[in-house]
Structure 1
Amino acid sequence: MTIEEQLRTAINSCGISGNALAKVSGVSQSAISRFMTGEDIRLSAASKLTEYFGLELTKKDGPSPASVPPRSTTGEKGSTKPKARSAKKAIK
């Protein structure tokens, strides 16, 4: 059973309203509602819900972060140097 299926089962069987679940889990009621109707859920929300229900998030098998090359943020091929932010934007 996937973590999505486990979460949906736990939410359906917990016996509390979406609003009450939102309050006790720290996940917005709209995020819970969207998830329950089949939309994806953010990792941060899934983490809060799995913690509330005593479930565990685990990483699927796949490449480790160290083996994935960094993405270029400058648009230059092969460059991994981050874009410089202007001081004006950084202060906001």
Structure 2
Amino acid sequence: MAKKSKPLGINLESLRKAIRDNGLSAKKLEQATGVPQSTITRFLGGSDMKLSTAEKLATFLANWREPPPTPTTHIAEALRAAIRESGQSADEIAEATGLSQPTMTRFMQGRDIRLSRAEKIAAHLGLVVTLGTGKASRASKPKKLYSEADLGIVKDGELT
């Protein structure tokens, strides 16, 4: 029987959809987040990106035209905590997910990781890296797209 996945943070397709649905240009996103236009353009075209970069974009979308939220746990930190809680070594997770041992070791030491790799680790642990979609307003003036809880870390149905 397959494990039921639990939401963890950001999903690539949801992030792409949120950018497109709100008509945000790569230039505007670069100005707002510091993420280079070329990175955003490649991402919208289907390329992967680093987890920290995805978090910058997701945080901007969550706060767009709204005051900043209270700080939330970073997805990478929550994923590292889930790995430690699992009792598995970085080598065991690397083997189970097909990632290299050096990649896992660097990630556990605090280095950044590509979102697609974070998704593999999360799936192995029975988690899902996903961005809550919230409800976008149809009004001409955009409103907050995602709640703070949607961008936080949810494990076993509770915000951590």
The TM-score normalised by the length of structure 1 is 0.56
Give the letter for the 1:7 counterpart.
Answer: L
Higher CA-based Rg: 1
Matched, 1:52 2:124: yes
> Aligned to 1:38, what secondary structure does the other structure show?
coil
What is the rounded CA distance, in whole Å, between the counterparts of 2:99 and 2:131 in structure 1?
21
> Equivalent residue for 1:74?
none
How far apart in 1 are the matches of 2:102 and 2:130? 25
Q: Which runs of 5+ in 1 are unaligned?
A: 62-92
User: SS in structure 1 opposite 2:81?
Assistant: helix
The amino acid across from 1:53 in the alignment is L
Deviation at 1:60, TM superposition (A): 7.2
Deviation at 1:42, TM superposition (A): 0.8
The offset of 1:32, in angstroms, is: 1.0
Q: Hey, what does 2:149 align to over in structure 1?
A: none
Q: Which has the higher contact order (CA 8 A, sep 6+)?
A: 2
* Aligned pairs, number: 61
In structure 2, stretches of 5+ residues that fail to align are: 1-72, 134-160
Across the aligned residues of Structure 1 and Structure 2, the Cα RMSD in angstroms comes to: 1.9
- Give the aligned residue type for 2:88: I
Aligned to 1:37: 109
Q: Please name the residue that 2:85 is paired with.
A: 13
Structure whose residues are more often strand by fraction: 2
The TM-score normalised by the length of structure 2 is: 0.34
Give a deviation string over 1:5-49, Cα, whole Å, max 9, x none: 221011112222221111112221111111111110011210100
CA distance in 1, matches of 2:75, 2:126: 12
Equivalent in the alignment of 2:76: 4
% same residue? 43
